[in-house]
Amino acid sequence: MQVRRAAVLSLLLFTVLGSPLAQGVAAAASPCPNLTLLLDTSGSMLENPAGPVGVMDPTPSKRKCNIAIAALSKLVSQYDGVLPIGLSLFPSDGMCGSAKLNISPALFTGQSINSLLSSSAPTSFVPDTPTSASISSLAGMAPLKDPARGQYILLLTDGRPECANGSENVTKTVAALQAATRATPPIKTFVVGFGMLDATSQAAMNQMADAGGVPSGDPTYHYYQAGDAASLDAADRKSTRLNSSH
């Protein structure tokens, strides 16, 4: 089941990228868009995607972080040399540090990204998720200010923004995402929510997806949802249909 979850999450990620980025790739008159992967490595990613909340799964391969890493690695391998891809991990300090641009988006970064991903799983159950600070940090980075390219962030996270010091909340994250879309050039963010999200987190993720500028189009889940086995199967079917149309 965990292998299937990783495979289906990969298909979901291909779907997320399929339309806007494929259009960028196909546009012969302009360079390919940059894609920066922004991966949540907070302690809650040590949980099993099906729960329970607040409990580290004793089997590493069943943890959200490892499933996400496998899916992103597959995504990177698929697009390496086709799109300029970068990677950013957050929090950057194991607490509430904003993301750094660990690997700048460029062609043929796959080996470096997959090497870093392989060691990016959290090692402690620190729940801090500095999403707004991380979006703002990336939006200020020079590689994401290249006016010759479209700029996209793919945010993969398992819950709403929060930090023990009170510096993070949904309102700040929505504002950061909206500010990024108004930057020059605009930076749009795909929001992928992974795991079993409660109603409050789902509402937060919907707001974030709308603010990021590339929502899923689903009336219930504005973000790209990858949760339990049933929703992953649904994502599988959706991905197969959408990918076959491109």
CA-nearest of 197, 191, 193 to 225 is 193
DSSP 115: H
Report pLDDT for 3: 45
Report pLDDT for 208: 97
The predicted model scores a pTM of 0.86
Q: Kindly report the CA angle at 115 between 112 and 118, in degrees rounded to 5?
A: 150
**95-125 pLDDT, tens per residue?**
899 999 999 999 999 999 999 999 999 988 8
Report pLDDT for 79: 84
Q: Which two tokens stand for residue 93?
A: 């300090």
**120-158 pLDDT, tens per residue?**
999 888 879 999 999 999 999 999 999 999 999 999 999
| Across 81-95, average pLDDT | 91
Split at pLDDT 50, 70, 90, the class of 227 is low
Beta strands 103-106 and 85-90: pairing type? antiparallel
